[in-house]
Amino acid sequence: RYNEICARLKDLKQQLTVHSLKQIPKELNIDRLFNVDLDESIGEDAGLDLDEGDVPPAWLADDATWEGIKAVQLFDRTGEEIL
């Protein structure tokens, strides 16, 4: 059902009936749903509540920020494993 909604939102955006700044969430790979890693989009907040003219947050719009967040998470998990 989730993937169906994502596909419908993508179609609506292509028809320009959805705000142009809205980001459509990625569909989930059902085969990998319970084998989540740091690159999985399951926890992604796609910012669907942005209004016209709103600037999306850096963690959502800036790839370098997103990569930095993932690096910090990986570093934190590594530190937990050492302890």
Over its length of 83 residues, how does the chain's per-residue pLDDT go in tens digits? 888 888 888 887 777 755 666 777 888 777 766 766 655 565 666 555 656 667 777 887 888 998 999 999 999 888 777 76
pTM for the whole thing? 0.37
Distances 40 to 16, 21, 26 between C-alpha atoms, Å: 28, 22, 9
- For residue 70, the 8-state DSSP code is H
| Domain residue spans of the chain | 2-82
> Tokens 């993937």 sit at which residue?
3
Give, in order, the Cα–Cα distances in Å from 21 to each of 17, 31, 39, 83. Answer: 12, 30, 23, 43
pLDDT at 70 (0 to 100): 92
